[in-house]
Amino acid sequence: VIPGWFSEISPMWPGEAHSLKVEKILFQGKSDYQDVMVFQSSTYGKVLVLDGVIQLTERDECAYQEMITHLPLCSIPNPKKVLVIGGGDGGVLREVARHASVEQVDICEIDKMVVEVSKEYFPDVAVGYNDPRVTLHIGDGVAFLKAVPEGTYDAVIVDSSDPIGPAQELFEKPFFQSVARALRPGGVVCTQAESIWLHMHIIEDIVANCRHIFKGSVNYAWTTVPTYPSGVIGFMLCSTEGPDVDFKHPVNPIDEQDDSGRPLKFYNSEIHTAAFCLPSFAKRVIESE
Ligand SMILES: NCCCCCc1nc2ccccc2[nH]1
């Protein structure tokens, strides 16, 4: 351990570790589910860490939050009811709020400490909670979905951590089945889907499960996030049987600014389409029938 540095050591990326220079540790705690830490880095702004894994940094959280939100919501004409599973930092809520058609946003986050810590240390991320359309549920997303009436949502966004820890069951078949049931015909889901450089086997399993369960379209998109090991992270985009969804060509453009005049920092319709272009090693695995 180098004094003054945080190294992100995890079995999710054996043999490598992104390190960030620490100016000051701002919070350290242990919730019912995981260790929670916030530190001020020298060059990435503030950093949120759960069980030793970086969830977001102020420097590039915009890339992840904007892509995981607008890839699904800009792919359907008129999203009204949106469910967020995970996403306790509030960043996805901030991005969903840009869509004027949205009338109701439910968020189900298992760890209350993540919400409180984000509101305290990442106010520009947690600003999403201020939107009157948002209802926060603290609890397990699996249980929440079981209680949801069939066909309730136009879109579900699964902003989870990784399959090691509290989010493990959000990568398993039963969960995907409960998401499909909660979506209307032609509804869409977007999930955090790891890195094509590090996790092709996990992605292979997720794609196989999704092809089984979602009878509309199933696509994988990816984006650059310098904070994350391998510098990229991806998303599974699936739609249920019903009105066609062409994820690669957004039908619902988002205007540049939100009500408080905050412009999009990363997402645009060209980046949307480009996100689905895959390198050959990934295309072979993901697009093979
Ligand atoms: N909402 C949290 C996003 C994911 C945080 C944890 C994490 N960090 C990653 C780095 C590379 C690939 C997948 C990753 N997953």
Distance CA 180, CA 189 (A): 8
**149 C-alpha vs ligand 1 centroid, how far in Å?**
30
Q: Is the CB of 227 under 6 A from ligand 1?
A: no
pLDDT value for 195: 98
Strands 153-159 and 134-138: unpaired
Q: Find out whether the beta carbon of 40 lies less than 6 Å from any atom of ligand 1.
A: no
Between the CA of 64 and the centroid of ligand 1 the distance, in Å, is 10
Pocket test for ligand 1, best of 192, 197, 220, 222 (most atoms within 8 A of CB): 192
The finding on whether 162 has its CB within 6 A of some atom of ligand 1 is yes
To the query of whether residue 159 is one of the catalytic residues in this protein, the response is yes
Residue 1: predicted pLDDT: 59
One of 89, 106, 159, 258 is an active-site residue; which one?
159
**Beta-bridge partner residues of 236:** 191, 220
Q: Is the CB of 60 under 6 A from ligand 1?
A: no
**Per 3-state DSSP, what percentage of the chain is helix, strand, and coil (rounded to 5)?**
30, 30, 40
Q: Is 69 a pocket residue for ligand 1 (Cβ < 6 Å)?
A: no
Q: Whose CA is nearest to atom 9 of ligand 1?
A: 228
pLDDT recorded at residue 242: 95
| Separation CA 56–CA 44 (nearest Å) | 10
pLDDT, residue 260, reads 83
Dist. CA 139–CA 263, nearest whole Å: 32
Which ligand 1 atom lies nearest to the CA of residue 228?
A: 10
Query: Does residue 53 have its Cβ closer than 6 Å to ligand 1?
Result: yes
Provide the sign of the torsion angle of the four alpha carbons 269, 135, 148, 174, taken in this order. positive
What CA–CA distance (Å, rounded) separates 190 from 180? 12
Query: Is any ligand 1 atom within 6 A of the Cβ of residue 229?
Result: yes
Q: What is the pTM of this model?
A: 0.97
Q: How far is the CA of 37 from the centre of ligand 1 (A)?
A: 16
- Classified as helix, coil or strand, 90 is coil
Between the CA of 227 and the centroid of ligand 1 the distance, in Å, is 9
Return per-residue pLDDT of the chain as tens, 289 residues.
567 999 999 999 999 999 999 999 999 999 999 999 999 999 999 999 999 999 999 999 999 999 999 999 999 999 999 999 999 999 999 999 999 999 999 999 999 999 999 999 999 999 999 999 999 999 999 999 999 999 999 999 999 999 888 899 999 999 999 999 999 999 999 999 999 999 999 999 999 999 999 999 999 999 999 999 999 999 999 999 999 999 999 999 997 788 888 999 999 999 999 999 999 999 999 998 6
Instruction: Find the 243 Cα to ligand 1 centroid distance in Å.
Output: 31
